[in-house]
């Protein structure tokens, strides 16, 4: 606490989470003592000519202001301000640290405000204080909240027990002031406490008496054998006593098959576990909601973790991302005997909250929909049947997967455990998350075709190989909303349709598009046969190409159908009314029907088609996250799919069948924009090169049998027939770590198979690949970098599991060493470069020993060591040549637990904009830029927490195998390592006369005022200075502080090649 020198006024110490409140109090303390002027610079700084007395008074005020500020900061945060000597600088540093007005910080505070809820029995005064602090923090961020907003937020955070007072306040026409509401709430709190104490005293004697009674039938406390509820339910056989934890089952299952399920075993250890050893066979539902839920104080949107329910249950239809109605409803029996009906089941998506603010998206399968149930239930039995484990503790519980990872957490409130999660409603689900539904996959494969259209395809059997279940509903598709939402249509007027194909054809041109296609096109031209509604499409760079494309199209369709074009209906666009176009139509005897200017309804078929195609393209690009330059690819695919989709214009067949005379197969269809792995022909790879390249599906070939693919690395479009698809990944999605992907996609609670195609089906056979004759000519490839995959011999695929023989191991490591870096010690030591890797490991261990990074100790009881591994890297220069082999020992920091072996982790790095500006200043001021690399930088950081680690592989000391490393300094891989290193480096730079710039904490300038700048990017240091002597001086000082490598003048940094020309003054 800091106390003013003139009064007993105190300022709450700044602890990192109360900056808004602290700033107001500290400012008022400074104002009260007349010191604020030296902080905001409103007091003029004395001139050189001023009297010594005036200078002394100003310095005294400045020192007092500095003391007031510094003494009101917790010691653990003093590293932020370094060596304080100026209150203005200290005040600004604290503002930079805690008052960054970024949207992310505002979002954090908004979430914090929404999460503040008063618990039953909690202190109203404390709750209001916490909310006020959050209001102040938001105000500091520039998010002003008036009294009305604060009152509304406060009332919304109250529990059900305060509903009476909230209802009374709502009766007022005007929102009462915050002071009035606070007074009323404190009065209501006193009344509730009086009622509670009264009821407690009345029943104290009987409760004390009952708690000491043990039942001789079930061995539980609180009742006699004659009143045992187990006997009342027919359990006459006396049970052996088993200690049970305090978590009361919320639901008990029963279903049509009447099979009884056994509860998972309990234990009396520090935590109670439910494991997959449970022998429950209850696959059907029906449950009882206990009296614990009848209070009605629980949020209906919460999820209760229930050890008695045999199935997950939700009361909210909008939470289901996949849903189907039950043909026969199933009963759900409540504790008071009432029965509710389960009317459907499906998949529910949840955002699970983990420690440290992390969240993962999970999905619960086979969730029953019971609209009348007051709460959502998570079945422990369902979880454990999938091989997961639930550990119960006194205040919380953890759901743990097979790899010992915590995938979900619960918090205990009263006698119940609540899942820590946020609801994800259908409207907020991204298309990438809706990957479990086969029906939704078909919706995407057909270019986001409507649900009714998919039903017609299935019910009327308009296409072959269409595995679609019409009983299941498609969840709300956000991409369709973004791409297709429009006003309701006007009533249509009936018209007569032609008897034959090509009797009437509609045509229109759409464009220009803002973004050119891959081939540079900005327009597209459509032709629609009125009889069959078959569509042809061409993309154009200029409208003037329309006539040549018309001739090309006419020759093609007349040859295919052996029919002649009779009527062409278009708008009045200049591309259709040119002299050349009209003379040709007259010469061929083709009637040209033109719509009246500004009356597009007269060419309604073509105009409506343009809108439909644009909507489909918009939805496909939105779903796949591909850039707009792929619009022509999406357009071509949309036409291909529309010709194979249901339309009211053609009875009992698709346009494809109506035009070609054969029913199309859709077995080969895949989701547009999904990840594809194309086979690489033998002549394009060596023995040990990968046999497939990662691509993106753009559509179906218009010249060969195969798929049209985009190679993201080579920026090329090509065709291939040997492709494996991953329809769960869309667009330019970064490849993620396997463990993270599994957690985020499948929740870790229900990992039932959602794959629609097995490995064999994923590789199309001759009949699965699209026929080039069926593909519209949509894309002009003449100016694109395209290539065609060579044909490979079709080899029968074995169904046996393929394993690499052990006797190939050494040979493979040796032959492949030059192509990739080792992934393990064994691989490094069996490679051709084993001597280089061994030297690199020795260098790393010497650095660790010289820095005294750890000491070997016995592992204390209750502690768990983290693992470590060797990471190998070949460092290359700007010319791609190998400069050195580097081995680094990395701690497996992912197993650290927040609050136990790490706390704060944030560490800044210089922004690229700042580094570019540093180079620009160097050019302008004639500075030379040098580079230094700190060897094993993280080893210099000092740890505050107790962290234990296993001894590294290959360096376990003989006779001390059971000892572990107690880390004294940070190590690469630890969560706090970057912060520890940055703190040490920041302190050292300040010691040698450098200060952080206001704009970027990783750009330092000299206090002396000379043109010397230092830029920090983790362990890479840029030095920009004009004087050679000054450069040598700074390098020498840094070399004495750390083990560094002087790389000389900057020529290669963060993957960027840099050329400095001192003569011309350029970089």
Catalytic residues: 306
DSSP string, 992-1005: TTEEE-SS-TTEEE
**Tally of CB atoms within 10 A around 553:** 20
CA 238 to chain centroid:
52
Place of tokens 């007259």: 586
Q: Is 905 exposed, middle or buried (0-12, 13-18, 19+ CB in 10 A)?
A: middle
Radius of gyration of the chain (CA): 36
SS3 readout for 719-745: EECCEEEEEEEECCCCCCCHHHHHHHH
Indicate the pairing of strand 389-392 with strand 272-274: antiparallel
| Euclidean distance between CA atoms 819 and 156, whole angstroms | 61
Measuring CA to CA, which residue among 545, 550, 577, 580 is closest to residue 565?
550
| Euclidean distance between CA atoms 840 and 834, whole angstroms | 10
DSSP state of 1041: H
CA angle 690, 694, 698 (to 5 degrees): 145
Indicate the angle between helix axes 631-642 and 604-624, nearest 10 degrees. Answer: 120
Cβ partners under 8 Å of residue 1017, min gap 6: 909, 910, 915, 1002, 1054
Place of tokens 């020992």: 889
Indicate the pairing of strand 505-510 with strand 523-529: antiparallel
| Euclidean distance between CA atoms 515 and 386, whole angstroms | 49
Cβ partners under 8 Å of residue 974, min gap 6: 891, 893, 896, 902, 938, 943, 947, 967, 980
Residues forming beta bridges with residue 272, ordered by sequence position: 392
Q: Is 512 exposed, middle or buried (0-12, 13-18, 19+ CB in 10 A)?
A: middle
Residue 47 in tokens: 């001139």
DSSP string, 1053-1065: ETTEE---BTTTT
Place of tokens 């809108």: 611
DSSP state of 860: P
In contact, 533 and 649? CB cutoff 8 Å: yes
| Euclidean distance between CA atoms 1061 and 771, whole angstroms | 58
Specify the 3-state DSSP secondary structure of 403: coil
Backbone phi and psi for residue 550, each to the nearest 5 degrees, phi listed first: -65, -45
Cβ partners under 8 Å of residue 1052, min gap 6: 877, 878, 1058
Place of tokens 């946020």: 422
Measuring CA to CA, which residue among 793, 756, 736 is closest to residue 361?
736
| Euclidean distance between CA atoms 8 and 30, whole angstroms | 13
| Euclidean distance between CA atoms 242 and 238, whole angstroms | 12
| Euclidean distance between CA atoms 149 and 132, whole angstroms | 12
Backbone phi and psi for residue 481, each to the nearest 5 degrees, phi listed first: -65, -45
Residue 178 in tokens: 């915050």
Cβ partners under 8 Å of residue 607, min gap 6: 508, 571, 600, 601
In contact, 630 and 779? CB cutoff 8 Å: no
């Amino acid at each position: 606490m800091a106390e003013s020198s003139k009064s007993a006024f105190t300022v709450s110490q700044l602890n990192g989470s109360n900056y808004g409140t602290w700033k107001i109090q500290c400012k008022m303390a400074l104002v009260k003592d007349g010191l604020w002027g030296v902080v905001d610079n409103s007091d003029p700084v004395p001139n050189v000519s001023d009297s010594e007395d005036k200078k002394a008074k100003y310095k005294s005020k400045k020192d007092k202001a500095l003391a007031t500020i510094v003494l009101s900061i917790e010691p653990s945060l003093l590293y932020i301000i370094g060596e304080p000597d100026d209150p203005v600088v200290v005040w600004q540093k604290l503002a930079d640290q805690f008052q960054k007005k970024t949207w992310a910080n505002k979002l954090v505070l908004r979430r914090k405000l929404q999460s503040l809820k008063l618990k039953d029995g909690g202190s109203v005064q404390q709750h209001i204080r916490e909310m006020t602090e959050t209001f102040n923090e938001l105000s500091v961020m520039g998010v002003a909240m008036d009294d009305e907003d604060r009152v509304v937020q406060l009332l919304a955070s109250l529990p059900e027990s305060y509903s009476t007072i909230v209802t009374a306040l709502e009766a007022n026409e005007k929102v009462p002031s915050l002071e009035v509401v606070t007074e009323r709430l404190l009065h209501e709190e006193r009344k509730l406490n009086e009622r509670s104490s009264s009821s407690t005293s009345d029943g104290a004697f009987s409760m004390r008496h009952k708690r000491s009674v043990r039942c001789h039938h079930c061995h539980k406390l609180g009742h006699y054998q004659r009143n045992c509820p187990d006997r009342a339910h027919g359990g006459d056989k006396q049970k052996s006593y088993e200690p049970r934890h305090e978590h009361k089952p919320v639901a008990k299952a029963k279903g049509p098959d009447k099979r009884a399920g056994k509860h998972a075993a309990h234990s009396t250890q520090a935590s109670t576990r439910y494991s997959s050893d449970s022998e429950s066979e209850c696959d059907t539902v029906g449950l009882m909601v206990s009296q614990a839920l009848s209070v009605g104080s629980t949020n209906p949107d919460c999820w209760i973790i229930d050890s008695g329910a045999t199935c997950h249950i939700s009361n909210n239809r909008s939470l289901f991302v996949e849903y189907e109605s039950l043909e026969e409803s199933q009963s759900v029996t409540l504790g008071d005997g009432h029965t509710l009906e389960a009317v459907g089941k499906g998949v529910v998506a949840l955002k699970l909250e983990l420690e440290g603010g992390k969240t993962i998206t999970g999905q619960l399968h086979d969730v029953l929909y019971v609209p009348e149930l007051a709460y959502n239930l998570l079945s422990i039995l369902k979880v454990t049947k999938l091989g997961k484990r639930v550990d119960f503790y006194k205040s919380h519980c953890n759901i743990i997967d097979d790899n010992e990872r915590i995938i979900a957490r619960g918090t205990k409130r009263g006698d119940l455990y609540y899942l820590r999660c946020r609801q994800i409603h259908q409207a907020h689900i991204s298309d990438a998350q809706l990957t479990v539904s086969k029906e939704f996959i078909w919706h995407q494969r057909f270019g986001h075709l409507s649900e009714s259209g998919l039903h017609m395809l299935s019910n009327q059997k308009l296409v072959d190989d269409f595995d679609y279940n019409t009983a299941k509903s498609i969840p709300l598709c956000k991409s369709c909303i973004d791409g297709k939402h429009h006003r309701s249509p006007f009533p249509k007027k009936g018209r007569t349709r032609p008897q034959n194909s090509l009797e009437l054809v509609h045509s229109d041109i759409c464009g220009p598009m803002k973004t050119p296609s891959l081939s540079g096109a900005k327009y597209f031209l459509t032709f629609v046969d009125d009889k069959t509604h078959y569509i042809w499409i061409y993309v154009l760079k200029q409208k003037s190409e329309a006539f040549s494309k018309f001739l090309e199209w006419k020759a093609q369709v007349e040859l295919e159908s052996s029919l002649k074009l009779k009527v062409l209906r278009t708008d009045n666009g200049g591309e259709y009314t040119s002299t050349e176009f009209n003379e040709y139509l007259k010469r061929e005897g083709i009637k040209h029907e033109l719509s009246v200017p500004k009356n597009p309804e007269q060419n309604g078929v073509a105009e409506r088609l343009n809108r439909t195609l644009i909507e489909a393209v918009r939805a496909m690009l939105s779903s796949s996250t591909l850039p707009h330059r792929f619009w022509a690819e999406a357009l071509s695919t949309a036409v291909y799919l529309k010709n194979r989709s249901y339309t009211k214009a053609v009875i009992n067949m698709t346009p494809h069948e109506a035009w070609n005379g054969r029913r199309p197969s859709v077995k080969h269809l895949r989701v547009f924009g999904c990840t594809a792995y194309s086979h690489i022909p033998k002549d394009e790879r060596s023995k040990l090169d990968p046999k497939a390249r990662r691509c993106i599906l753009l559509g179906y070939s218009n010249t060969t049998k195969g798929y049209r693919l985009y190679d993201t690395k080579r920026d090329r479009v090509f065709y291939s027939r040997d492709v494996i698809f991953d329809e769960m990944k869309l667009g330019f999605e970064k490849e993620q770590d396997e463990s993270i992907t599994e957690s985020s996609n499948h929740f870790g609670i229900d990992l039932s198979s959602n794959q629609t195609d097995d490995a064999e089906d994923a590789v199309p056979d001759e009949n699965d690949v699209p026929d080039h004759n069926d593909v519209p000519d949509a894309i002009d490839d003449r100016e694109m970098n395209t290539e065609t995959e060579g044909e490979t011999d079709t080899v029968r695929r074995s169904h046996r599991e393929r394993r690499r023989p052990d006797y190939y191991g050494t040979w493979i490591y040796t032959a492949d060493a030059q192509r990739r870096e080792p992934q393990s010690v064994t691989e490094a030591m069996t490679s051709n470069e084993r001597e280089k890797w061994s030297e690199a490991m020795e260098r790393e261990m010497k650095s660790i020993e010289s820095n005294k990074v750890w000491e070997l100790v016995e592992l204390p009881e209750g502690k768990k060591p983290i693992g470590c591994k060797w990471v190998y890297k070949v460092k290359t220069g700007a010319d791609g040549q190998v400069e050195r082999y580097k081995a680094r020992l990395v701690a497996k920091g992912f197993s650290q637990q927040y609050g136990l072996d790490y706390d704060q982790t944030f560490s800044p790095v210089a922004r690229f904009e700042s580094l570019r500006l540093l180079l620009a200043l160097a050019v302008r001021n004639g500075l030379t830029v040098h580079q230094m690399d700190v060897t094993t930088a993280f080893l210099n950081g000092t740890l505050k927490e107790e962290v234990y680690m296993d001894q590294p592989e290959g360096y376990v000391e003989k006779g001390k195998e059971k000892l572990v490393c107690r880390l004294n300094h940070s190590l690469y891989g630890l969560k706090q390592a970057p912060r520890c290193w940055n703190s040490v480096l920041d302190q050292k730079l300040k010691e040698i006369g450098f200060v952080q710039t206001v704009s970027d904490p990783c750009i330092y300038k000299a206090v002396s005022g000379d043109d010397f700048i230092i830029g920090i990017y983790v362990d890479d240091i840029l030095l920009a200075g004009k004087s050679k002597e000054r450069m040598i001086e700074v390098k020498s000082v840094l070399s004495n502080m750390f083990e560094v490598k002087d790389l000389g003048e900057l020529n290669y940094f963060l993957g960027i090649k840099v050329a400095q020309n001192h003569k011309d003054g350029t970089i």
